[in-house]
Structures are given as C-alpha cells and as structure tokens.
Amino acid sequence: MATEVIMPKVDMDMETGKISVWHVAEGETVTKGAALFDIETDKAAMEVEAPATGTLHHIIAQIDDVIAVGRPLAWIYAEGEEVPDAPPASPPTPSAVPAPAPNNTTPESAPLPISEAPAAASAGDQIRATPAARRIAREQGLDLATIQGTGPRNRIQRDDIETDCITQVDAAVTSWSPQAGPLAVTRTGTGIDAPIVLIHGYAADAMGWRPLEQALRGTGREFIRIELPSHGNSPRRYISDFATLARMLVDAFDALALDQAHVIGHSLGGALAAALTDIRSRRIATLGLIAPAGLGAEIDGDTLLGIARASRTESLAPWLKRLAATDGAISEDFAKAAMKARSDPEQRAAQLDLAKTLFPDGTQTFDIRPALTRVEVPLSVIWGRGDRILPWRQAFQLPGHAALHLLPDVGHIPHIEQPETVAKLLIRLFKQAEI
C-alpha cells in the first residue's frame, strides 16, 4: 500500500505550512530518511524527510502552496507496487478542512484546499496567484492583473512580484531598479576537506573577509564567499522580510552542491547563517557566528542608516569608526576603499530600503533564537565586548550548547580587528567536527 506524505506538525501551535522546495520530482525514487521537501511556518523553515523508500507520485501540493497540518501532499509507492492514475482517496481531517466562508469564498487566513490554486478576482477575471505573491502584492499596493505569472498555468509566484514587477513599487518610493540573477559567489583556494562558506553583514561585501582568510590560509581549505542581494557584485533585489532574504541565501548555497561546509556569518550574515544551518543541517559541519544579529531588539540603527546614506568618504568615515572598539582602528584608506566599493547610488538606495525592512525604527524585527536551539552541529559565537552596533549581552540569549568567546577591546568587526584570534577560535571549532 502506498505511503502517504502529509504536512507534518513541527511546532506546537502550527496549523499550516508552506511548501518551499521539493527535493524529489514526480516519478523519482527516494530513500526513507532522505530530504524530501522543505516547509516554512510562522516560526521556522526546515527540511522534511521521506517517510518511506520508493517512487514519488501524485504530488498534489506545489511550491508556495499553504497546506493544513495532516493534509496529504504526495504518495510514495514501493518497488513493484502498481501506481494508479489518480491518487488514493484520503479521508478529510478536522485540521485539514477549512470551515466554509460566506458566499463560498475562502478567507485568506484559512488553510487552502491543496487541490485548488489560490485565486483573486480582478475586473471580473480570475487571477491565479500563490499566497506569498498575494501577500506581497497586497502590502505593496500592486495590481495582480498587471503581472505576468511564470508558474503552472500562468500562476503568479513570489519571484514574479519581487523581480519582474517590483519596479511598480520602486518607481514610486525609491531611486533604484531591481535586477535579476543569482547572488554573487566567489571561490578561492582548494582543499579536500569541507570548504569554508563566508556570509558578510549589512553594508559589507566579500572583500571584508580578506583579513580572516589570510589568517586561515594554513587550514588548506577552500573559501566560498556569498554576497547578499544589493551588496558587492550581487544583483539589487527587493526584500520583503527576513524569510525572503534567507531563502535567497539557501538557493545560493544549494547551487554550490556541497556535501559538507563550515559556515561563518557576521552580523546580519550571522543571522542568515543560523537560518541556513536550520534549513540545511545535513550539509553543515560547523557554524561560526561573529557578532550575530537576531538575538534581541536593540541595534544602532543610526549607524546602519548613516553608512547606507553616505555618498562621500568624509560622511562615511565617522560611521565606519563606530564599527570598531576604537576610532583609530578604521584608517582613512579603509574608509576610501569602502566608499569606492559603495560608489553605485542605486546600490546604496537598495541597501537603505533593506535596512528599513529588517531594522525599522532601529529595531531588529527577526529572531534567530528558535533556529539556534535546533542546531546540532558544533556552534561557536565570537563577540567583541566593545561592540557599539549590537550589544554583546544579547549573547545571553544563546542556547546552552553554544560556545561563547568574548573578546576585550574589540568592537563589531572582530574578524577585521583581531583576525588571528578569530582564526584560532574557528580552527578549534572546525576540529570539533572531526571528533
């Protein structure tokens, strides 16, 4: 008898989950315990394992569909088992069947039947759109009727809003235009051991890792730097929330097709590294966080906005000096190089919008603590006691299994202020994966 694949309940108060990725296609074989699909909930994003070994058929839940807990998504047929033309009948469950709404409409907050694609009425025509696309369009005041969908049967998906059509929003409120394409990834060095994946922070880029890479050269590992959207050489992208940004990073990581990797993230990159590890735990050997964001509400929003707005070295330098424990740690040459890398006004405008999204009113709106509690790989957090951007006492929110290293006379950029010290701590972390 075929094994039913259902939407699992991964949180106590979870009622629905959204399909974000299928790792196995229709008709492909899967092994019990292997990654089958990814889901996103209000609190987490995670990988779901296959409940049986066999061939996957009758996938009735597509990417971006919001499914009630307990509803079937697909079926796995054992070797030699006959596959019928239609999926097996499944009795409805109370949690899977939404109560009928007046006038036969489905409330946006209710679980959606998986056999139907969400639709919205506009000018008398039925418009097919995913829940994520609908939400972003509603928030940004976009007319779905003006957007060309690229999904099955021309269904409008999240990417259709965020890339091809977001210029409707940007033209009204910003002076930058979004760009298509994957995030920029650079690779240097070689090695037979797991490579080191580096994720920079807000308003930084891949070049900021140079001091730490130099200190880690003796490890004989490859360095892989992923640049965030609207940073470095990555395309400018519209970001609606932290989950959207995390999904872009996961896509970039998946494209690397790595079996194992040591992941290091700084500040905003640290929060994203935690989210990546939560979603792709099977492929992460260790997790190293440097002054990570997402552990509390407080952040120096003035400095973030000051860096994003600066159009000259003279206006950028004072804000950069706040990144280090002492003003003298940031030289004039450092500031000039940073300004040269930030010479594109559209990139600066896009970063400013990103700051307003993730840190509105100088507040961190995302929380990585639930993700860190689920991290099972060796985890180390490095923080400077002189950090003026993120208070190091937010480290008290870390789970008990995290190793915490507090560095005296160091600010928000330990990997630049004391790269040798940070390198020694990371090498110690990497060795834990070999025990």
Strands lying side by side in the sheet with 403-407: 185-188, 223-226, 196-199, 261-266, 284-290, 379-384, 403-407
The per-residue pLDDT for 361 is 92
| Cα distance between residue 269 and residue 289, in whole Å | 8
Q: What DSSP string describes 337-401?
A: HHHHHT--HHHHHHHHHHHHHHSGGGB-----HHHHHH--S-EEEEEETT-SSS-GGGGGGS-TT
Coil vs helix vs strand at 51: coil
Assigned CATH for 117-173: 4.10.320.10
pTM across the whole model: 0.70
Pick the CATH number of 185-432 from 1.10.1740.10, 3.100.10.20, 3.40.50.300, 3.40.50.1820: 3.40.50.1820
The per-residue pLDDT for 212 is 96
Assigned CATH for 1-114: 2.40.50.100
The per-residue pLDDT for 170 is 36
For the chain, the C-alpha Rg in angstroms (whole number) is 23
In order along the chain (435 residues), what is the average pLDDT of each group of 10 residues? 87 78 92 87 75 94 90 93 83 40 39 36 52 64 72 69 43 71 94 93 95 91 97 96 96 96 98 97 97 97 92 92 89 87 92 95 95 96 97 96 96 96 97 86
The pair of structure tokens assigned to 215 is 């200190």
The ranges assigned to domains in the chain are 1-114, 117-173, 185-432
Q: Which amino acid is at 399?
A: P
Strand partners, 156: 129
The per-residue pLDDT for 123 is 35
